[in-house]
Amino acid sequence: MAERTTVLLAEDDVSSRRIMAHLLERSGYEVRVAQDGREALELIGPDVHVALIDWMMPGVDGVEVCRRLKEVTGGRAYAIMVTAKAEKSDIVHALDAGADDYMTKPVDHAELLARVRAAERVAVREHRLAQAWVQARSEADRDALTGLYTRRVFDEALAELTVKPRSAPVALLMIDLDHFKRINDTHGHRVGDEVLRAAAEAIRSEVRSGTDIAARYGGEEIAVIAPAAEIGGAEELAERIRARVEELRLVAGGTLVAVTVSVGVAALQPHESEHDPARTLVERADARLYEAKGAGRNQVAA
């Protein structure tokens, strides 16, 4: 049996919520119902295919829910904003916030289901493509030492993710181990390898699994592609990685090996039209990495 399509419904108005939930359930969808924005944030998961999000909700509004949904699903979930606002500027704002479509209230039942069916076609296809992409990767796509993706996979993925049209920003983290040559010179290459492996593991534990792509970019340089991540979210991820690596406790020859990383963070916005977007993004992240190094290492520059 085919996997059911999961629809997230976020609506603070009780009667609208009941009616829409009933309609969707009767049509065979797996419905996750949130009474407000805060609850919606809790119900967002990478498995959400389609979301119907009320714009006006107390506390956390629909725009924020939409942004978070895109981030968690790596841009794959299809977001339909439901709004009483019909002003053009509001619609532009909703679409800029990452919404794929919008409906105005009062919602027509037949139209609602038709829009969800259309959204489903796009979202389910995107989920399958993403899964296929990950499943198609074999051992040969992994770097033998770190277990991260190879440079070849990185190049392919970045080219694919930055191609126009983009529905969401793409962020890139360039991570470089500080004083790696000194570690090798002082403790030997076996310890150097151990440091790389441990840092790679720390990075892997922080990235979004199934969404972010962590690859060994060069010798002691690791790159993370974060699809559908705003620069702020990517910077937070970079900071968590930096902190986790700093906490590593590796001992060699009875002494503690100090391991830290410098991270450069950059993002490419959906509307930017660069001649070579992948290369542009790498150059931007590299420039930030250079800044982080110059400012004393063990830090993030965005």
In the complex, the residues that contact Mg ion under the rule CB under 5 A are: 12, 54, 56
| Residue closer to Mg ion, measured from CB, 56 or 198 | 56
CA dihedral angle for residue 146, residue 150, residue 155, residue 161, rounded to 10 degrees: -70
Minimum CB–partner distance for residue 214 and Mg ion (Å): 39
Q: Could you tell me if 216 and 146 are in contact, meaning their C-beta atoms sit under 8 angstroms apart? A: yes
| Residue closer to Mg ion, measured from CB, 62 or 233 | 62
SS3 state of residue 6? strand
Q: Which amino acid is at 301?
A: A
Residue 71 a catalytic site member: no
Minimum CB–partner distance for residue 231 and Mg ion (Å): 29
CB atoms under 10 Å from CB of 100, counted, come to 21
Q: Which of 172, 180, 245 is nearest to 206 (CA)?
A: 245
Which pair of tokens denotes residue 98? 């990452």
| Residue closer to Mg ion, measured from CB, 54 or 176 | 54
Q: Which of 138, 96, 253, 133 is nearest to 188 (CA)?
A: 253
Minimum CB–partner distance for residue 206 and Mg ion (Å): 35
CA dihedral angle for residue 23, residue 27, residue 30, residue 36, rounded to 10 degrees: -20
Helices 109-135 and 14-26 cross at an angle (nearest 10°) of: 60
Minimum CB–partner distance for residue 9 and Mg ion (Å): 12
| Residue closer to Mg ion, measured from CB, 33 or 259 | 33
Residue sitting closest to Mg ion (CB): 56
Kindly write down the DSSP assignment for every residue of 196-220, as one continuous string: HHHHHHHHHHHSPTTT-EEEE-SSS
Catalytic one among 126, 194, 220, 230? 220
| Residue closer to Mg ion, measured from CB, 12 or 230 | 12
Q: Which of 240, 215, 127, 235 is nearest to 171 (CA)?
A: 235
Please state whether the peptide bond connecting residue 106 to the residue before it is cis, i.e. omega within 30 degrees of 0. Answer: yes
Minimum CB–partner distance for residue 61 and Mg ion (Å): 9
The conformational region for residue 218 under phi > 0 = left, psi -120 to 50 = alpha, else beta, is beta
Could you list the active site residues? 220
